[in-house]
Amino acid sequence: MAELAGEVGRIVNFYASLLFGWDAFFIPIVLLLVAAVSLYPDKR
């Protein structure tokens, strides 16, 4: 199961880098920022 998850992660990172030009390192940071803004809209 972990191998499948790793493979899916590599595929997602590959397509994200193609679509957005993002490095895989920035994707979780962006997700955290989006989550923080949506959870705490008053603290922007």
Convert the pLDDT of each residue in 4-42 to its tens digit. 777 887 888 788 777 776 666 777 788 888 888 888 877
Confidence category of residue 44, pLDDT binned at 50, 70, 90: low
- Cα–Cα separations (whole angstroms), residue 10 to 2, 6, 16, 23, 39: 12, 6, 10, 12, 28
Tell me the residue range of the domain where 16 lies.
2-43
Number of domains in the chain: 1
Model's pTM, two decimal places?
0.37
Which ranges of the chain would DSSP assign to H, the alpha helix? 2-20, 26-39
Confidence category of residue 43, pLDDT binned at 50, 70, 90: low
Dihedral of CA atoms 38, 25, 5, 32 in degrees, nearest 10, equals: -10
